[in-house]
Amino acid sequence: MRFAGLGRTALFALALLASGVARADEAADFYRGKTVIIVTGSAVGGGYDVYVRLFAEFAKRHLPGEPNVIVQNRVGASGITALDYVYNVAPKDGTTLIMPFNVDPLFQLLMPEGRRFDLSKVSWIGNMAELSNALVVTRQAGVTSVEDVKSKEVIMTSSSDGSQTSIIPKLFNALIGTRFKVVTGYKGTGDMMLSMQRGETQGRVGSWYSFKSAETTGLANGNLIVLAQDGIKRQPDLPSVRLYDEIVTSPADKRLMRVMSFPVATSRALAVAPGVPANRVAALRAAFVATMLDSEFIASAAKRNMEIGPTPYEAIEKIIAELFSTPPDMVAQLRSIMKPN
């Protein structure tokens, strides 16, 4: 199991340090007999829901006072419904957490209109896994690098203009002159992969975890080729595949690509709304660390083929601060690229 940002010993030491505050009598007395609700905008059985339910199953044993922990699905408006509820309606007492969608901070930056929450002000608890995206093409596309797409058109499948399935190919087009042609309107991962198998399209941007879980044969026999990956560092099982910001050259372009990679830091992150008392935030953070170190939790995740690679809240806060310090001209450039063709 990989611990990003901190070694296992250091993370355990952090848990002990946090526990000294988090397991104070006041926090234990508060949580005893209560129910902690973890909200997700994902439907039951979705990628976020699976992670939330695994965490809820084991976190209850590590919270002071051993409260009950349940999951609540509030589906709607691409996750905004759930965020709006937690930020503006739910009690700010430490009994309600949320696992936002990983792109929520990025989309708040790029499309703030109508959003009644601010993810730069929440208290982050920790991230269960850094699940990166990959730009993958079929062998029939006839390219083996992003640079090859400068001289050969590659048709990319996409769900919508505002998703990374569309933004990333168009960003490469704008920055280095590739000829990705984005076709939108496909409904979900399954529909997009079928379009590639039928030859309608030749590639897509999507979760590397999903690719390696569901497309093992295609990756093994070379029918699927990974051209690039996002994230702040290369994934251990993609050591020779370049990051988006390693493909572009100018400092400004590198920062643009880095901004688009920041959602990896919140792949499966938990947070509470502003206003939760500090000792309860500490209790939740300590419970998160203890859960990540729980041998039964680790075994259960492995049995379900779930990737676990936690990052502490400090690392998330640093990434979020950098994200929301993106210069306005870069924000405007990204917003322009997101517009429909």
What pLDDT, in 10s, does the model give residues 281-340? 999 999 999 999 999 999 999 999 999 999 999 999 999 999 999 999 999 999 998 887
Report the amino acid identity of residue 278.
Answer: A
Does the structure show a pLDDT above 50 at 4?
Answer: no
How many CB atoms sit inside 10 A of residue 52's CB? 25
- Arithmetic mean of pLDDT over the chain: 92
pLDDT of residue 341: 67
User: pLDDT confidence of 261, banded at 50, 70, 90?
Assistant: very high
177 and 254 share a domain? yes
Does the structure show a pLDDT above 90 at 5?
Answer: no
pLDDT single digits (tens) 171-202: 999 999 999 999 999 988 889 999 999 999 99
273 and 125 share a domain? yes
Residue 337 is assigned to a structural domain of this protein: no
- 41 token code pair: 């905008």
Quick one: which of 130, 114, 128, 140 has its CA closest to 49? Answer: 128
- Domain final residue, candidates 262, 294, 316: 262
pLDDT of residue 3: 47
The total number of structural domains in the chain stands at 2
pTM confidence score: 0.87
pLDDT of residue 15: 53
138 and 120 share a domain? no
User: pLDDT confidence of 161, banded at 50, 70, 90?
Assistant: confident
Does the structure show a pLDDT above 60 at 166?
Answer: yes
The C-alpha atoms of residue 298 and residue 147 are separated, in whole angstroms, by 40
Residue 335 is assigned to a structural domain of this protein: no
190 and 218 share a domain? yes
| Domain CATH number, residue 65 | 3.40.190.150
Q: Are 71 and 41 in contact (CB under 8 A)?
A: no
137 and 221 share a domain? yes
Range of the domain at 178: 133-262
The C-alpha atoms of residue 126 and residue 50 are separated, in whole angstroms, by 17
